[in-house]
Structure 1
Amino acid sequence: MLPRQHLSRLEAVIFDVDGTLVDSERDGHRVAFNAAFEEAGLPDRWEVATYGKLLKITGGAKRLTFWFENTGRSPVEARELGERLHKRKTHFMLRLVEDGHVQARPGAHQLIDRLEASGVQLHVATTGTRAWVEPLLNQAFGNRFHTVITGTEVSELKPSPAVYLEVLSRTGCPPERAVAVEDSANGVQAAVAARLRCLAAHNPYTRNDDLSGATLVADGLDDPALLAWFTTACGAWRATTHD
């Protein structure tokens, strides 16, 4: 159980996107990166396990730059190639989104429905590019989120708390009255650095991440423990708003 002083304060939930709201990494981003490699005539390919290791680096352009630097390119060439291919990768990712290949994680729709019915505001804080994040959210969930901040607006990527601080600034919500939902160590660190409570719903790629900073670590968005946490917190919030 949560202390009463915490139970009465939930006004907003801030979701990460990749690996949290949607299953986008293995069969979304990884596929798009490989398509960009192939289009450019490069021999590079990211297998499932390889991509899992590269996910420790947030931001697609930085991930590409790291890869190229560690596969024989000079730092200057790696950065230029990374930035150029990331633009093409975004194009391929958008096509995957439009074709319906990126789906919501199990339980995502039900959780959002429950939170919305409780009167809690829903926001997004992601380091993904708005060019594909916005179409994905609209296609997968409709117009459900009040505020969406992406890596296009905030240059400092997670584990920096910048994207979360921007959401809090724009909404005017105090951090003690919000909770973040994340899936990875970088995401949890970013949320905690923004003074947010964080619920971690890990996925196969982040199952072994250090999520010790989270208030709760769950097996997914449909985990009974995570749902019970929200049921209690939202119930207390409704009670205080109707006193």
Structure 2
Amino acid sequence: MNTNNKLQAVLFDVDGTLADTEQDGHRLAFNAAFKQFHLDWNWDIDLYGELLQITGGKERIRYFLERYMPAELDKSNLTEWIASLHKTKTKHFESLMETGNIPLRPGVARLIHELRREKVKLAIATTTTMENVTALLKSTLGEESIGWFDVIGAGDIVPLKKPAPDIYHWVLDQLKLIAPQCIAIEDSENGLKSARAANLSTLITVSGYTRSQNFGGAVSILSDLGEPSQPFTHMGGVTLEQGWVDYKTLNSLINP
């Protein structure tokens, strides 16, 4: 096993990192589920930005009840009810994905194809559900793309969600790799905390909701992964030689 500054795997977050799914994907799906459950709740853009501080959809619903609808906490079988509401939301999100309205962020498809050519392992470490991951990959990269990823860590596969490092520990174990051989790509402070707690070098590509968060500890902070025709904006951390992230860039960042 070569541990000498040779990138073995890239671990991608999903929501906000692969695609800007939050504002016009998950938020709309939650609202559609509320309507189906005859609830007069509406998570507008600002409220959803606040709720994103809580990772995990079921956890987000519970937090919303505790903060804004405490009377609803008296429901019998509350946990089952939340799970059912969340399952309905996931179905609405999958439908949104199938329409192809949510594209991958700049540079994502290019980088994934290059990493495959370079025989670098691909993995996903996310708090979103496996159904959501599958729907996004199929709608953007095609049916076969699920098989491009050596490991997909998603949803409730570990008990503690980000900012806890559990999902990253789990993915590293499945890959049979150690943190210095890998890099994580994230868009949020909670994601960064999770990856750093697992000792992973972490590259941040900020998304609409996360732009003002604290990214201390990231190796580099960028607007996105960039394209040769559409360079990223550098926002902090290590300055990169070119305006797009490729295999060579990531390899240089694992031992900066």
Fold match by TM threshold 0.5? yes
Task: Provide the C-alpha distance between the structure 2 equivalents of 1:21 and 1:114, rounded to a whole number of angstroms.
Answer: 15
Q: Which amino acid aligns with 2:168?
A: Y
Q: Which amino acid aligns with 1:66?
A: Y
Question: CA contact under 8 A between 1:118 and 1:234: conserved in structure 2?
Answer: no
Alignment of 1:53-202 (within 5 A): 53-74=50-71, 75-77=73-75, 79=79, 81-141=81-141, 142=145, 143-202=147-206
Q: Which runs of 5+ in 2 are unaligned?
A: 227-231, 234-239
Which contiguous aligned blocks of 4+ residues in structure 1 show a shift greater than 6 angstroms? Answer: none
SS of alignment partner, residue 196 of structure 2: helix
In the comparison of the two structures, how many residue pairs are matched?
A: 232
Range with bigger deviation, 127-136 or 224-233: 224-233
Range with bigger deviation, 123-132 or 73-82: 73-82
Task: Provide the C-alpha distance between the structure 1 equivalents of 2:148 and 2:202, rounded to a whole number of angstroms.
Answer: 20
CA deviations on 1:150-172 (whole Å, 9 max, x unpaired) are 01322311011111111100110
TM-aligned CA deviation for residue 55 of structure 1: 0.5
Query: Of 199, 208, 215, which residue of structure 1 is paired with 2:212?
Result: 208
Question: CA contact under 8 A between 1:7 and 1:233: conserved in structure 2?
Answer: no
TM-score, length-normalised on structure 1?
Answer: 0.87
Structure-2 residue corresponding to 1:231: 248
Task: Provide the C-alpha distance between the structure 2 equivalents of 1:235 and 1:160, rounded to a whole number of angstroms.
Answer: 26
**Percent of residue pairs bearing the same amino acid type:** 37
TM-score, length-normalised on structure 2?
Answer: 0.83
TM-aligned CA deviation for residue 122 of structure 1: 0.9
Question: CA contact under 8 A between 2:8 and 2:182: conserved in structure 1?
Answer: yes
Query: Of 3, 6, 10, which residue of structure 2 is paired with 1:9?
Result: 6
Task: Provide the C-alpha distance between the structure 2 equivalents of 1:60 and 1:122, rounded to a whole number of angstroms.
Answer: 25
RMSD: 2.2
Structure-1 residue corresponding to 2:32: 35
SS of alignment partner, residue 184 of structure 2: strand
TM-aligned CA deviation for residue 232 of structure 1: 3.9
Change (3 A) 1:151 1:76: farther
Q: Which has the higher contact order (CA 8 A, sep 6+)?
A: 1
Q: Which amino acid aligns with 1:186?
A: N
